[in-house]
Amino acid sequence: MNAADKYVSLKLPADAEYVDIVRLTLYGIAVKMGFSYEQIEDMKVAVSEACNNAVLHAYEGIAAGYMEIRFERGVDSLSITVKDEGKSFNVEGRDPNRASMHDKQLEEVQAGGLGLYLMQALMDDVRVESNSGTEVVLTKLLSRSAEKEMA
């Protein structure tokens, strides 16, 4: 089994009380992979934002739904996919290849876009696809430079 075949998948109700399960699962996987405490905390905040979007917006006005979370180990990265099948994220007028918000001032970010801004600030790559439901893919690269300096 190669690294790309290693993943953990969860299907949970899109309810705030289940976000902690996602964060705990992330913590366990990230520790085993060798991510630093700071990197893990950044990932926990980013994945919480993605899950909260599914909880708060995806099934608004619709019967309760689910969110699917997939943690996929790469050779030197961890990708976390948060997918829902509720209302699609409004991506009209947004260029999918546009630059990230990293170079923008906080005042330039529109209200409602702070979660995405935060995810982009904390992760190495963020992709959002919105066809039937919304899928957010968060990727963090494993940096071992701190470990090498300690050796």
Domains in the chain and their CATH numbers?
A: 3-150 (3.30.565.10)
The predicted pLDDT at position 149 comes to 42
- Residue 113: CA count within 13 A, CB half-sphere: 18
pTM, rounded to two decimals: 0.79
**Average pLDDT for consecutive 10-residue bins of the chain (151 residues)?**
76 95 97 96 96 87 87 96 82 46 49 78 94 92 62 43
The predicted pLDDT at position 113 comes to 61
